[in-house]
Structure 1
Amino acid sequence: MPEPRVNNAIRAKEVRVVAPDGSQVGVKKLEEALWLADQLGLDLVEVAPEARPPVCRMMDYGKYKYEQSVKQRESRKKQTRTVIKEVRLRPRIGDHDFDIVRRRAEQFLSEGDKVKVTVRFRGRENERPELGHRLVERLMEDLEELAIVEQSARKDGRTMTMVMAPTRKALDIAAAAKEEFDERRAAARDEARGIVEVEEIPEVVDEVTGPADDAEAAVEAELAPVLEMVDVEAAPADDAELPRDSKATVEIESAEASDEAKENAEEGEGD
Protein backbone atom coordinates (compact mmCIF):
# COMPACT_ATOMS: atom_id res chain seq x y z
CA MET A 1 0.00 0.00 0.00
CA PRO A 2 1.55 3.33 -1.05
CA GLU A 3 2.15 6.03 1.52
CA PRO A 4 -0.58 8.70 1.57
CA ARG A 5 0.26 12.30 0.77
CA VAL A 6 0.78 14.42 3.87
CA ASN A 7 0.65 18.21 4.35
CA ASN A 8 2.52 20.06 1.56
CA ALA A 9 2.74 16.88 -0.54
CA ILE A 10 -1.00 17.14 -1.27
CA ARG A 11 -1.50 18.37 -4.84
CA ALA A 12 -5.20 19.29 -4.93
CA LYS A 13 -6.15 22.94 -4.62
CA GLU A 14 -9.31 22.14 -2.63
CA VAL A 15 -9.91 19.25 -0.25
CA ARG A 16 -12.75 17.91 1.84
CA VAL A 17 -11.56 18.16 5.44
CA VAL A 18 -12.48 15.64 8.13
CA ALA A 19 -11.89 16.47 11.80
CA PRO A 20 -9.93 14.12 14.10
CA ASP A 21 -13.20 12.84 15.63
CA GLY A 22 -14.60 12.00 12.17
CA SER A 23 -16.94 14.96 11.81
CA GLN A 24 -17.14 16.82 8.51
CA VAL A 25 -15.50 20.25 8.37
CA GLY A 26 -16.34 20.86 4.72
CA VAL A 27 -14.57 21.73 1.50
CA LYS A 28 -11.66 24.04 2.11
CA LYS A 29 -8.79 25.42 0.11
CA LEU A 30 -5.57 23.56 0.69
CA GLU A 31 -3.91 26.54 2.38
CA GLU A 32 -6.82 26.94 4.79
CA ALA A 33 -6.93 23.23 5.56
CA LEU A 34 -3.20 23.22 6.28
CA TRP A 35 -3.63 26.23 8.55
CA LEU A 36 -6.41 24.48 10.51
CA ALA A 37 -4.31 21.36 10.97
CA ASP A 38 -1.32 23.44 12.06
CA GLN A 39 -3.43 25.27 14.64
CA LEU A 40 -4.40 21.91 16.18
CA GLY A 41 -0.83 20.61 16.06
CA LEU A 42 -1.85 17.85 13.64
CA ASP A 43 -1.04 16.69 10.11
CA LEU A 44 -3.29 16.86 7.07
CA VAL A 45 -3.39 13.39 5.52
CA GLU A 46 -4.97 12.57 2.16
CA VAL A 47 -7.05 9.45 2.87
CA ALA A 48 -9.16 9.32 -0.34
CA PRO A 49 -7.16 10.73 -3.24
CA GLU A 50 -9.61 9.41 -5.88
CA ALA A 51 -12.55 11.41 -4.53
CA ARG A 52 -13.51 14.77 -6.00
CA PRO A 53 -12.38 16.78 -4.15
CA PRO A 54 -9.91 14.52 -2.33
CA VAL A 55 -10.73 13.70 1.29
CA CYS A 56 -8.14 14.74 3.86
CA ARG A 57 -8.22 14.03 7.56
CA MET A 58 -6.49 15.90 10.36
CA MET A 59 -4.51 13.49 12.53
CA ASP A 60 -1.17 12.80 14.21
CA TYR A 61 0.42 10.95 11.30
CA GLY A 62 3.38 9.64 13.30
CA LYS A 63 1.09 8.14 15.93
CA TYR A 64 -1.15 6.72 13.18
CA LYS A 65 1.79 4.95 11.49
CA TYR A 66 2.92 3.49 14.80
CA GLU A 67 -0.56 2.12 15.57
CA GLN A 68 -0.78 0.60 12.09
CA SER A 69 2.58 -1.15 12.50
CA VAL A 70 1.46 -2.58 15.86
CA LYS A 71 -1.74 -3.92 14.28
CA GLN A 72 0.22 -5.53 11.44
CA ARG A 73 2.57 -7.25 13.89
CA GLU A 74 -0.35 -8.59 15.91
CA SER A 75 -2.06 -9.89 12.78
CA ARG A 76 1.15 -11.64 11.68
CA LYS A 77 1.43 -13.31 15.07
CA LYS A 78 -2.09 -14.71 14.75
CA GLN A 79 -1.44 -16.10 11.28
CA THR A 80 -0.73 -19.81 11.17
CA ARG A 81 1.99 -21.13 8.90
CA THR A 82 0.68 -24.01 6.84
CA VAL A 83 3.16 -26.86 6.41
CA ILE A 84 2.41 -30.00 4.43
CA LYS A 85 4.41 -33.12 5.26
CA GLU A 86 4.37 -36.20 3.05
CA VAL A 87 4.29 -39.91 3.76
CA ARG A 88 4.61 -42.55 1.03
CA LEU A 89 3.07 -45.98 0.78
CA ARG A 90 3.16 -48.96 -1.57
CA PRO A 91 0.04 -51.00 -2.34
CA ARG A 92 1.64 -54.20 -0.98
CA ILE A 93 3.30 -52.61 2.08
CA GLY A 94 3.86 -54.83 5.12
CA ASP A 95 2.18 -54.32 8.48
CA HIS A 96 5.40 -53.25 10.20
CA ASP A 97 6.21 -50.66 7.55
CA PHE A 98 2.61 -49.45 7.62
CA ASP A 99 2.83 -48.89 11.38
CA ILE A 100 5.99 -46.82 10.88
CA VAL A 101 4.24 -44.64 8.29
CA ARG A 102 1.17 -44.31 10.54
CA ARG A 103 3.26 -43.18 13.52
CA ARG A 104 5.08 -40.68 11.34
CA ALA A 105 1.79 -39.24 10.07
CA GLU A 106 0.48 -39.13 13.64
CA GLN A 107 3.56 -37.15 14.70
CA PHE A 108 3.10 -34.65 11.86
CA LEU A 109 -0.55 -34.13 12.76
CA SER A 110 0.27 -33.72 16.45
CA GLU A 111 2.67 -30.94 15.46
CA GLY A 112 -0.16 -29.12 13.69
CA ASP A 113 0.96 -29.92 10.13
CA LYS A 114 -1.05 -31.25 7.23
CA VAL A 115 -0.15 -34.66 5.80
CA LYS A 116 -0.09 -35.63 2.16
CA VAL A 117 -0.43 -39.38 1.64
CA THR A 118 1.09 -40.67 -1.60
CA VAL A 119 0.61 -44.23 -2.88
CA ARG A 120 2.93 -45.28 -5.72
CA PHE A 121 2.01 -48.05 -8.13
CA ARG A 122 4.44 -50.21 -10.08
CA GLY A 123 3.90 -52.54 -12.99
CA ARG A 124 0.56 -54.34 -12.85
CA GLU A 125 -0.28 -52.63 -9.53
CA ASN A 126 -1.36 -49.69 -11.64
CA GLU A 127 -4.28 -51.77 -12.92
CA ARG A 128 -5.68 -52.23 -9.39
CA PRO A 129 -6.40 -48.76 -7.93
CA GLU A 130 -8.65 -50.34 -5.29
CA LEU A 131 -5.51 -51.41 -3.45
CA GLY A 132 -4.54 -47.77 -3.01
CA HIS A 133 -8.06 -46.77 -1.92
CA ARG A 134 -8.11 -49.57 0.62
CA LEU A 135 -4.73 -48.48 1.97
CA VAL A 136 -5.57 -44.78 2.45
CA GLU A 137 -8.92 -45.70 4.03
CA ARG A 138 -7.11 -47.92 6.52
CA LEU A 139 -4.72 -45.11 7.38
CA MET A 140 -7.58 -42.66 7.77
CA GLU A 141 -9.41 -45.01 10.14
CA ASP A 142 -6.33 -45.29 12.35
CA LEU A 143 -5.96 -41.49 12.50
CA GLU A 144 -9.61 -40.48 12.68
CA GLU A 145 -9.13 -38.72 16.05
CA LEU A 146 -6.28 -36.56 14.78
CA ALA A 147 -7.11 -36.01 11.10
CA ILE A 148 -9.87 -35.06 8.75
CA VAL A 149 -9.85 -35.52 4.99
CA GLU A 150 -9.14 -32.20 3.32
CA GLN A 151 -8.67 -33.68 -0.15
CA SER A 152 -10.07 -37.10 -0.94
CA ALA A 153 -7.92 -39.75 -2.60
CA ARG A 154 -7.55 -39.44 -6.33
CA LYS A 155 -5.35 -41.25 -8.81
CA ASP A 156 -3.14 -39.45 -11.28
CA GLY A 157 -1.01 -41.67 -13.49
CA ARG A 158 0.92 -44.07 -11.27
CA THR A 159 0.32 -42.18 -8.01
CA MET A 160 -2.65 -41.73 -5.71
CA THR A 161 -2.71 -38.78 -3.29
CA MET A 162 -4.82 -37.72 -0.33
CA VAL A 163 -4.40 -34.73 2.00
CA MET A 164 -5.28 -34.85 5.70
CA ALA A 165 -5.60 -31.83 7.98
CA PRO A 166 -5.22 -31.87 11.78
CA THR A 167 -8.35 -31.82 13.94
CA ARG A 168 -8.91 -29.47 16.87
CA LYS A 169 -7.62 -32.18 19.18
CA ALA A 170 -4.38 -32.44 17.20
CA LEU A 171 -3.96 -28.67 17.26
CA ASP A 172 -4.49 -28.64 21.03
CA ILE A 173 -1.85 -31.35 21.41
CA ALA A 174 0.55 -29.34 19.26
CA ALA A 175 -0.07 -26.18 21.30
CA ALA A 176 0.44 -28.04 24.59
CA ALA A 177 3.65 -29.64 23.31
CA LYS A 178 4.99 -26.26 22.20
CA GLU A 179 4.17 -24.70 25.56
CA GLU A 180 5.85 -27.56 27.41
CA PHE A 181 8.91 -27.27 25.19
CA ASP A 182 9.17 -23.52 25.83
CA GLU A 183 8.89 -24.09 29.60
CA ARG A 184 11.61 -26.76 29.55
CA ARG A 185 13.90 -24.56 27.51
CA ALA A 186 13.40 -21.64 29.90
CA ALA A 187 14.00 -23.89 32.92
CA ALA A 188 17.16 -25.31 31.36
CA ARG A 189 18.41 -21.81 30.62
CA ASP A 190 17.77 -20.67 34.21
CA GLU A 191 19.42 -23.81 35.59
CA ALA A 192 22.47 -23.28 33.40
CA ARG A 193 22.76 -19.70 34.60
CA GLY A 194 22.49 -20.84 38.24
CA ILE A 195 25.22 -23.47 37.78
CA VAL A 196 27.58 -20.92 36.26
CA GLU A 197 27.00 -18.48 39.11
CA VAL A 198 27.51 -21.13 41.81
CA GLU A 199 30.68 -22.52 40.22
CA GLU A 200 32.35 -19.21 39.43
CA ILE A 201 31.88 -17.30 42.70
CA PRO A 202 33.82 -19.62 45.06
CA GLU A 203 36.80 -19.73 42.69
CA VAL A 204 37.06 -15.94 42.63
CA VAL A 205 36.71 -15.69 46.41
CA ASP A 206 39.43 -18.28 46.98
CA GLU A 207 41.85 -16.46 44.74
CA VAL A 208 41.23 -13.00 46.19
CA THR A 209 40.81 -13.78 49.89
CA GLY A 210 43.51 -16.45 50.29
CA PRO A 211 45.72 -16.22 53.44
CA ALA A 212 48.45 -13.60 53.05
CA ASP A 213 50.86 -15.33 55.48
CA ASP A 214 51.14 -18.39 53.28
CA ALA A 215 51.84 -16.23 50.26
CA GLU A 216 54.58 -14.27 52.07
CA ALA A 217 56.18 -17.46 53.39
CA ALA A 218 56.24 -18.92 49.89
CA VAL A 219 57.89 -15.76 48.51
CA GLU A 220 60.52 -15.74 51.27
CA ALA A 221 61.30 -19.42 50.66
CA GLU A 222 61.84 -18.73 46.97
CA LEU A 223 64.06 -15.69 47.61
CA ALA A 224 66.19 -17.22 50.42
CA PRO A 225 68.89 -18.74 48.13
CA VAL A 226 69.18 -15.49 46.20
CA LEU A 227 69.59 -13.44 49.38
CA GLU A 228 72.32 -15.79 50.65
CA MET A 229 74.27 -15.39 47.42
CA VAL A 230 73.97 -11.60 47.66
CA ASP A 231 75.32 -11.64 51.27
CA VAL A 232 78.32 -13.77 50.29
CA GLU A 233 79.24 -11.57 47.35
CA ALA A 234 78.80 -8.37 49.38
CA ALA A 235 81.15 -9.47 52.28
CA PRO A 236 84.61 -7.70 51.89
CA ALA A 237 87.71 -9.88 51.62
CA ASP A 238 90.61 -9.53 54.06
CA ASP A 239 93.07 -8.43 51.40
CA ALA A 240 90.66 -6.08 49.72
CA GLU A 241 92.15 -2.78 48.68
CA LEU A 242 91.42 0.16 50.92
CA PRO A 243 90.26 3.49 49.59
CA ARG A 244 92.87 6.03 48.48
CA ASP A 245 92.36 8.24 51.56
CA SER A 246 92.80 5.29 53.87
CA LYS A 247 96.06 4.36 52.09
CA ALA A 248 97.48 7.87 52.55
CA THR A 249 96.62 7.87 56.25
CA VAL A 250 98.36 4.55 56.76
CA GLU A 251 101.51 5.72 54.92
CA ILE A 252 101.71 8.93 56.99
CA GLU A 253 101.31 7.01 60.21
CA SER A 254 104.03 4.54 59.12
CA ALA A 255 106.43 7.41 58.24
CA GLU A 256 105.87 9.10 61.59
CA ALA A 257 106.50 5.82 63.41
CA SER A 258 109.77 5.25 61.55
CA ASP A 259 110.98 8.81 62.26
CA GLU A 260 110.21 8.39 65.93
CA ALA A 261 112.11 5.13 66.02
CA LYS A 262 115.15 6.77 64.39
CA GLU A 263 115.18 9.59 66.93
CA ASN A 264 115.00 7.15 69.79
CA ALA A 265 117.90 5.21 68.31
CA GLU A 266 120.08 8.31 67.93
CA GLU A 267 119.36 9.42 71.47
CA GLY A 268 120.40 5.99 72.67
CA GLU A 269 123.73 6.18 70.81
CA GLY A 270 124.49 9.67 72.20
CA ASP A 271 124.09 8.49 75.75
Structure 2
Amino acid sequence: MALPYKGGGRFNPRFNRQPEPEHRINDRIRVPQVRLVGDNVTVGIYPADEARRIAREQELDLVEISPNADPPVCKVIDYKKFLYEKKRKEKDMKANAKQSEVKEIRFTPGTDDHDFNFKAKHAEGFLKDGNKVKAYVQFKGRAIMFKERGELVLLKFAERLAEFGIPESLPKLEGKRMQLMLTPKGAKKKPKEAAE
Protein backbone atom coordinates (compact mmCIF):
# COMPACT_ATOMS: atom_id res chain seq x y z
CA MET A 1 0.00 0.00 0.00
CA ALA A 2 1.41 3.41 -1.00
CA LEU A 3 1.91 5.94 1.78
CA PRO A 4 0.34 9.39 1.32
CA TYR A 5 2.71 12.03 -0.06
CA LYS A 6 3.89 14.37 2.69
CA GLY A 7 5.64 17.10 0.75
CA GLY A 8 9.34 16.47 0.93
CA GLY A 9 11.35 17.45 -2.09
CA ARG A 10 14.74 19.04 -1.84
CA PHE A 11 15.92 21.01 1.16
CA ASN A 12 15.77 24.74 0.46
CA PRO A 13 18.27 26.61 2.65
CA ARG A 14 16.59 29.97 1.94
CA PHE A 15 13.64 29.11 4.18
CA ASN A 16 15.69 27.84 7.12
CA ARG A 17 18.37 30.51 7.15
CA GLN A 18 18.67 32.54 10.35
CA PRO A 19 18.60 36.31 9.75
CA GLU A 20 22.12 37.74 9.65
CA PRO A 21 22.91 39.70 12.83
CA GLU A 22 23.36 43.44 12.40
CA HIS A 23 26.96 43.24 13.64
CA ARG A 24 29.58 40.49 13.62
CA ILE A 25 30.07 39.24 17.17
CA ASN A 26 32.44 36.87 18.98
CA ASP A 27 33.45 33.93 16.72
CA ARG A 28 31.95 35.59 13.63
CA ILE A 29 34.77 38.14 13.72
CA ARG A 30 37.30 36.56 11.37
CA VAL A 31 40.16 39.04 11.16
CA PRO A 32 43.65 38.49 12.60
CA GLN A 33 43.63 41.60 14.81
CA VAL A 34 41.24 44.25 16.09
CA ARG A 35 41.33 47.65 17.78
CA LEU A 36 39.67 47.02 21.14
CA VAL A 37 37.56 49.67 22.92
CA GLY A 38 35.01 49.57 25.73
CA ASP A 39 34.64 49.95 29.49
CA ASN A 40 37.11 48.07 31.70
CA VAL A 41 39.53 47.32 28.82
CA THR A 42 42.86 48.80 27.85
CA VAL A 43 42.27 50.42 24.46
CA GLY A 44 44.67 49.11 21.84
CA ILE A 45 45.31 46.65 19.02
CA TYR A 46 44.96 42.98 20.00
CA PRO A 47 44.93 39.64 18.19
CA ALA A 48 41.23 38.71 17.68
CA ASP A 49 41.56 35.59 19.90
CA GLU A 50 42.97 37.70 22.75
CA ALA A 51 40.11 40.25 22.37
CA ARG A 52 37.53 37.42 22.49
CA ARG A 53 39.20 36.03 25.66
CA ILE A 54 39.00 39.49 27.33
CA ALA A 55 35.29 39.73 26.46
CA ARG A 56 34.59 36.18 27.78
CA GLU A 57 36.37 36.93 31.08
CA GLN A 58 33.96 39.83 31.60
CA GLU A 59 31.00 37.63 30.49
CA LEU A 60 30.35 40.07 27.65
CA ASP A 61 30.43 39.99 23.84
CA LEU A 62 33.06 41.18 21.40
CA VAL A 63 31.13 43.27 18.85
CA GLU A 64 32.55 44.64 15.60
CA ILE A 65 31.30 48.24 15.51
CA SER A 66 33.46 49.65 12.72
CA PRO A 67 34.28 46.88 10.21
CA ASN A 68 35.84 49.20 7.60
CA ALA A 69 38.51 50.63 9.91
CA ASP A 70 42.04 49.23 9.71
CA PRO A 71 42.11 47.16 11.86
CA PRO A 72 38.35 46.80 12.53
CA VAL A 73 37.15 48.41 15.78
CA CYS A 74 35.54 46.03 18.27
CA LYS A 75 33.85 46.84 21.54
CA VAL A 76 33.38 44.70 24.65
CA ILE A 77 29.67 45.05 25.54
CA ASP A 78 26.50 43.10 26.39
CA TYR A 79 25.20 42.73 22.82
CA LYS A 80 21.55 42.03 23.71
CA LYS A 81 21.43 45.07 25.99
CA PHE A 82 23.14 47.16 23.26
CA LEU A 83 20.49 46.14 20.67
CA TYR A 84 17.65 46.78 23.13
CA GLU A 85 18.91 50.30 23.91
CA LYS A 86 19.49 51.04 20.23
CA LYS A 87 15.88 50.02 19.38
CA ARG A 88 14.57 52.10 22.27
CA LYS A 89 16.49 55.19 21.09
CA GLU A 90 15.18 54.75 17.53
CA LYS A 91 11.62 54.40 18.87
CA ASP A 92 12.01 57.56 20.98
CA MET A 93 13.42 59.48 18.01
CA LYS A 94 10.44 58.43 15.86
CA ALA A 95 7.99 59.49 18.56
CA ASN A 96 9.69 62.89 18.95
CA ALA A 97 9.89 63.60 15.21
CA LYS A 98 6.32 64.82 14.75
CA GLN A 99 5.11 64.25 11.23
CA SER A 100 3.95 67.45 9.56
CA GLU A 101 0.91 66.96 7.33
CA VAL A 102 -0.75 69.02 4.62
CA LYS A 103 -4.37 69.74 5.55
CA GLU A 104 -6.79 70.76 2.82
CA ILE A 105 -9.51 73.40 3.12
CA ARG A 106 -11.97 73.67 0.23
CA PHE A 107 -13.93 76.74 -0.80
CA THR A 108 -16.25 77.66 -3.67
CA PRO A 109 -16.35 81.13 -5.31
CA GLY A 110 -19.59 81.80 -3.42
CA THR A 111 -18.51 80.64 0.09
CA ASP A 112 -20.58 82.60 2.66
CA ASP A 113 -19.12 84.34 5.74
CA HIS A 114 -20.29 81.71 8.25
CA ASP A 115 -18.68 78.88 6.24
CA PHE A 116 -15.55 80.96 5.66
CA ASN A 117 -15.12 81.69 9.40
CA PHE A 118 -15.74 78.04 10.30
CA LYS A 119 -13.05 76.87 7.86
CA ALA A 120 -10.59 79.59 8.89
CA LYS A 121 -10.95 78.46 12.54
CA HIS A 122 -10.07 74.88 11.53
CA ALA A 123 -7.08 76.09 9.50
CA GLU A 124 -5.88 78.12 12.49
CA GLY A 125 -5.83 74.92 14.57
CA PHE A 126 -3.93 73.03 11.86
CA LEU A 127 -1.27 75.77 11.61
CA LYS A 128 -0.90 75.91 15.42
CA ASP A 129 -0.24 72.14 15.35
CA GLY A 130 2.60 72.66 12.86
CA ASN A 131 0.77 71.41 9.76
CA LYS A 132 0.71 73.13 6.38
CA VAL A 133 -2.67 74.21 5.01
CA LYS A 134 -3.57 73.96 1.34
CA ALA A 135 -6.61 76.14 0.70
CA TYR A 136 -8.29 75.87 -2.67
CA VAL A 137 -11.31 77.17 -4.53
CA GLN A 138 -12.96 74.59 -6.77
CA PHE A 139 -14.64 75.99 -9.88
CA LYS A 140 -17.47 73.91 -11.35
CA GLY A 141 -18.81 74.43 -14.83
CA ARG A 142 -19.11 78.08 -15.73
CA ALA A 143 -18.02 79.23 -12.26
CA ILE A 144 -14.51 79.55 -13.76
CA MET A 145 -15.72 82.95 -15.03
CA PHE A 146 -15.61 84.12 -11.40
CA LYS A 147 -11.94 83.30 -10.81
CA GLU A 148 -11.40 86.81 -9.35
CA ARG A 149 -13.89 85.90 -6.60
CA GLY A 150 -11.88 82.74 -5.91
CA GLU A 151 -8.67 84.74 -5.68
CA LEU A 152 -10.34 87.20 -3.27
CA VAL A 153 -11.51 84.31 -1.04
CA LEU A 154 -7.96 82.93 -0.85
CA LEU A 155 -6.33 86.32 -0.22
CA LYS A 156 -8.89 87.07 2.52
CA PHE A 157 -8.14 83.61 3.99
CA ALA A 158 -4.36 84.30 4.00
CA GLU A 159 -4.96 87.71 5.61
CA ARG A 160 -7.21 86.20 8.28
CA LEU A 161 -4.49 83.62 9.19
CA ALA A 162 -1.51 86.02 8.91
CA GLU A 163 -0.86 85.63 12.66
CA PHE A 164 -0.44 81.84 12.33
CA GLY A 165 0.75 81.11 8.79
CA ILE A 166 2.71 82.54 5.87
CA PRO A 167 1.60 82.08 2.23
CA GLU A 168 4.26 80.26 0.18
CA SER A 169 3.19 82.14 -2.97
CA LEU A 170 0.23 84.02 -4.48
CA PRO A 171 -2.91 82.01 -5.36
CA LYS A 172 -2.31 79.89 -8.48
CA LEU A 173 -4.91 78.59 -10.91
CA GLU A 174 -4.35 74.94 -11.92
CA GLY A 175 -7.10 73.60 -14.15
CA LYS A 176 -10.42 74.27 -12.40
CA ARG A 177 -8.81 74.76 -9.02
CA MET A 178 -7.11 77.84 -7.56
CA GLN A 179 -4.90 77.09 -4.59
CA LEU A 180 -2.80 78.71 -1.91
CA MET A 181 -0.38 76.97 0.48
CA LEU A 182 0.17 78.32 3.99
CA THR A 183 3.20 77.33 6.09
CA PRO A 184 3.01 77.59 9.90
CA LYS A 185 4.82 80.62 11.32
CA GLY A 186 8.19 79.59 12.68
CA ALA A 187 8.61 76.83 10.05
CA LYS A 188 11.62 77.51 7.83
CA LYS A 189 10.93 78.42 4.23
CA LYS A 190 12.97 76.86 1.46
CA PRO A 191 15.13 79.37 -0.45
CA LYS A 192 13.13 78.75 -3.67
CA GLU A 193 9.85 79.61 -1.93
CA ALA A 194 11.35 82.69 -0.33
CA ALA A 195 12.39 83.94 -3.75
CA GLU A 196 8.88 83.72 -5.21
Q: Tell me, yes or no, whether TM beats 0.5.
A: yes
Say whether the 8 Å CA contact 2:109–2:146 is kept in structure 1: no
User: Which of 14, 26, 31 is the aligned partner of 1:7?
Assistant: 26
> RMSD between aligned alpha carbons?
2.8
Query: Does 2:35 correspond to 1:16?
Result: yes
What is the deviation of 1:98?
2.2
CA 1:3 to 1:88, structure 2 compared with 1: closer, same or farther past 3 Å? same
Counterpart AA for 1:99:
N
Partner of residue 119, structure 1:
137
Unaligned 5+ segments in structure 2 are 1-20, 187-196
Bigger fraction of residues in strand: 2
User: TM-score if structure 2 supplies the norm length?
Assistant: 0.69
Aligned partner of 1:109 in structure 2 is 127
What is the aligned counterpart of 1:80 among 98, 111, 115?
98
Which residue of 1 is the match for residue 171 of structure 2?
153
Deviation at 1:32, TM superposition (A): 1.5
- Larger-gyration structure (1/2): 1
Matched residue type, 1:10 = I
CA distance in 2, matches of 1:80, 1:151: 25
Structure possessing the higher relative contact order (Cα contacts under 8 Å, 6 or more residues apart): 2
With normalisation by structure 1, the TM-score equals 0.52
Q: Is the 8 A contact 2:170 2:180 kept in 1?
A: yes
Amino acid paired to 1:18 = V
Structure (1 or 2) with the greater helix fraction? 1
Contact 1:15 1:53 in 2 (8 A): yes
Q: Which runs of structure 1 show a deviation greater than 4 angstroms over 4 or more consecutive aligned residues? A: none
Stretches of structure 1 that go unaligned for 5 or more consecutive residues are 169-271
Number of residue equivalences = 166
Question: Identity over aligned residues, as a percent?
Answer: 36
State the alpha-carbon separation in 1 of the partners of residues 96 and 170 from structure 2: 28
* CA deviation after TM superposition for structure 1 residue 163, in Å: 2.2
